[in-house]
Amino acid sequence: MIKRRGTLFVVSAPSGAGKTTLCREMRLRLHELAYSVSVTTRAPRPGEIDGSDFRFVSEGDFRAMLARGEMAEWATVHSNLYGTPAKPLEAALRDGRDVLLDIDTQGAAQLRARYPDAVLIFVVAPSMAELEQRLRERRSDPEKEIGRRLERAREEISLWRRYDYLIVNRDVKEAMEQLESIIQAERCRVARLALTFPDLEVPN
């Protein structure tokens, strides 16, 4: 039996657009999805668990990993470093598992360059006003931080054309269905199946 190569799904969004919730819920819905625990130098937020939400490391440890070439992508966001370890990611894809990553725009561009067949998905709130309201409701950020996040959101949103898919997150249920549709549809793409079944007339 030929083993299908997994597909890398990368979800980016301005903070407040709902990306973290979407990805967490999708992993609960599609248990077969592999994911990568990102490494970060930022401080844990209340409720975040080390090794599950993120792997929290010092800047020194992060830079040592980078130097050893252990990051599939990395980026600086709000003065903190974030990275995705390459080895577990590539092992999952080789093993035929689809991987869902929740990555900022800088990281997504690096992943696209390293894995050209990755599927890039951008999630936006229905409007800037809605995005601002969601950031305020989150209450975890001070006022100054909200302004910075909104400014950064505008920059990120301008990059939406570099993505394969756009999800306008009006409502979590609808956005979840769109994300799941994208994953299921990509599994039916002839361009991917033809790599797996190069010599077969009928893939079965």
Instruction: Locate 63 and state its tokens.
Output: 């830079």
H-run or E-run covering 84: strand 80-85
Q: Which positions touch a copy of itself (CB under 8 A)?
A: 121-122, 124, 126-128, 154, 157-158, 160-161, 163-168, 177-178, 180-191, 193-194, 201-204
Q: How far apart are CA 47 and CA 74, in angstroms?
A: 24
Residue closer to a copy of itself (CB basis): 143 or 201: 201
Residue closer to a copy of itself (CB basis): 14 or 85: 14
Angle at the Cα of 106 from the Cα atoms of 75 and 61, rounded to 5 degrees: 10
Task: Compute the least distance from the CB of residue 187 to a copy of itself, in Å.
Answer: 8
Q: How far apart are CA 131 and CA 170, in angstroms?
A: 11
Instruction: Locate 52 and state its tokens.
Output: 């599950």
Residue closer to a copy of itself (CB basis): 43 or 190: 190
Residue closer to a copy of itself (CB basis): 35 or 165: 165
Task: Compute the least distance from the CB of residue 199 to a copy of itself, in Å.
Answer: 12
Task: Compute the least distance from the CB of residue 123 to a copy of itself, in Å.
Answer: 10
Task: Compute the least distance from the CB of residue 31 to a copy of itself, in Å.
Answer: 17
Q: How far apart are CA 68 and CA 8, in angstroms?
A: 23
Write down the residue that tokens 């361009």 correspond to: 191
Phi-psi region of 79 (alpha: psi -120 to 50; beta: other; left: phi over 0): left
Task: Compute the least distance from the CB of residue 184 to a copy of itself, in Å.
Answer: 4
Instruction: Locate 150 and state its tokens.
Output: 């909104």
Whether 108 and 120 have beta carbons less than 8 Å apart is answered as yes
Task: Compute the least distance from the CB of residue 160 to a copy of itself, in Å.
Answer: 7
Residue closer to a copy of itself (CB basis): 144 or 161: 161
Residue closer to a copy of itself (CB basis): 39 or 175: 175
